[in-house]
Amino acid sequence: MELQNLVTIIYKRSLTFILVFLCLFPLTSCATTSNPNQAVFSWISDPKTFNAVLNSSSPSIFAYTYEGLITENPITGVKEPALADSWEVSDDKLRIVFTLREGLKWSDGQPITADDVVFSYNDLYLNEKIPNNYRDSFRVGRKGTFPEIIKLDNRRIEFKITEPFAPFLDNASVPILPAHILQPTITQKGSDGNLAFLSTWGTDTPPEKIIVNGPYKLKSYTTSQRVIFERNPYYWKKDKEGNQLPNIDQIIFAIVESTDTSLLQFRSGSLDSISVTPEYFSLLKREEDRGNFTIHNGGPAYGTTFISFNLNKGKRDGKPLVDPIKSAWFNNLKFRKAVAYAIDRPRIINNIYRGLGAPQNTQISVQAPYYDKSIKGYEYNLEKAKELLKKEGFKLNGTGELLDQKGNRVQFSLITNAGNKIREAMGAQIKEDLRKLGMQVDFSPLAFNVLVDKLSNSLDWEAHIIGFTGGNEPHAPNIWYTDGNLHMFNQKPQAGQKPITGRVVTDWEKEIEQLYLEGAQELEREKRKEIYSKAQQLVSEYVPFIYLVNPYSLAAVRNRFEGIEYSPLGGAFWNIEKISVEELSAEET
């Protein structure tokens, strides 16, 4: 007992020292800054690119720097005007005409016109030589045709499609980029022989050269330290009194090493808002009044977290992507189901999420209208897991190690992104859960850029824990089309990557793809629900992704911000341009 008390005292003294140190840290000091009209947040890694088309990871700068033709209000789910102030859909649902606002300008003062819109869609997003996460979502119908996009005049753009397409308006929210700056990059080639665009606007680009249309533009970026945004003087939006938005002068993102560091900086007063993980909820809840902040709870978060095995049977340069012995396990349906039954999700909820979460049973977000609540997923059942393995010829040796039919020990690597404490804790628990089956799981959190390279480029991985963001619209061709760039459990090489031979696409993958095609064609919501329910049932049956737990959407925000409308889809600052900072009293400063 005395030893435990001593450890507690040492921990508290260490924590006090860290908090004092952070208050002295020059990036975001605990003292009031010279410009109180700013907001300071944190990211646990650096942005990977300043090119909105090429971005495939989080965090990114683009929620602050770019807008599309329209947007979705995360509170109401209603599509609202952005760069376009209106749009008209033809009676046959095959034509839509967007009309841009008058007087739109880029951050360099140049006009935003229909040419920029046509350029962004035709020359960038739909360009086969430019791999991006958006292109798949533009495919329409069974043939996967792309829309025809033409300029009618300087303010009007017409989109034509070959058949009705329910998610069509979602495609109108992608960032619009400046043709007058980027046009040359799609005809010129870089030193590597690829389009110059592919190496344009990397994170080494001087911020003043990044031309934007959103509420903020880049002011500065210091690797591993901070990203600073400043107001875009040419931003189009105004408040009800006619004052130009945004209200907040400057946004700072501190680059920190982990969510633990974010917590310490928030408690010390250095950060204005953080996502609240369940492990920190009770601690922060007790400090709300003293810290002058509010914890917002939006209920179940959008998105999914899952474990997945690499099912790709292909070879690159004659070498299998996955060891054939392990590939045989991963592609065995009963093996995947056994793993699903062996993961103790109630324990994840109680121990890791501290009760602030619920099971996620399908690929569609719990809060979305298309989520099928009737699908029960894989409840924790260790005996059923053992029974499934036994039927496939797996057995334990004398020391409790699981062997396959040929006597090979069942051992594989499991990776996730380092610094995400929740996923790291999940991985540690899953390792323990599967040990009860006799499996040896080598769990290794990796730096995020290393993880992305394995999952997207080299395809050299065995199992991983990651997540996908989600929304109300279930259409996800980049995940569920068999050649989608996020169909990662059986990935087709993307543009510019070495080819793969021997990749096998299963019948159930094709069936899920077909359902997503049909769902996109159907405009009536109830019929769409039926289609996506079938797709969810197939995913649950064949478990390409083993879904884990859906946490509650929680964020702590300083009370000095006015205009917060918290949403699990958009967070606390989805309407950043309208949010303002209260003036601090003399006592508060």
| Angle, alpha carbons 200-205-209 (nearest 5°) | 90
The string of pLDDT tens digits covering residues 531-586 is: 999 999 999 999 999 999 988 999 999 999 999 999 998 899 999 999 999 865 44
Per the CB < 8 A criterion, the answer to whether 42 and 262 are in contact is: yes
Listing DSSP states for 77-105 in one string gives --EEESSEEEEEE-TTSSEEEEEEPTT-B
In the chain the domains, ranked by start, together with CATH numbers, are 39-63+192-300+554-581 (3.40.190.10), 66-184 (3.90.76.10), 304-474+545-551 (3.10.105.10)
Per the CB < 8 A criterion, the answer to whether 161 and 172 are in contact is: no
The string of pLDDT tens digits covering residues 249-296 is: 999 999 998 889 999 999 999 999 999 988 889 999 999 999 999 999
Phi, psi (deg, nearest 5) at residue 140: -120, 125
Confidence class for position 210, pLDDT limits 50, 70, 90: very high
pLDDT at 13 over 50: no
Confidence class for position 496, pLDDT limits 50, 70, 90: confident
Q: Cα(212)–Cα(503) distance, rounded to whole angstroms? A: 41
pLDDT at 497 over 90: no
Q: Cα(319)–Cα(254) distance, rounded to whole angstroms? A: 42
Which amino acid is present at 259?
Answer: T
Sheet holding 250-255, edge to edge: 38-43, 250-255, 226-231, 216-222
For helices 259-267 and 421-435, give the axis angle rounded to 10 degrees. 140
User: Within 10 A of 479 (CB to CB), how many other CB atoms are there?
Assistant: 19
Pairing mode, strands 440-446 and 411-417: parallel
Pairing mode, strands 411-417 and 463-468: parallel
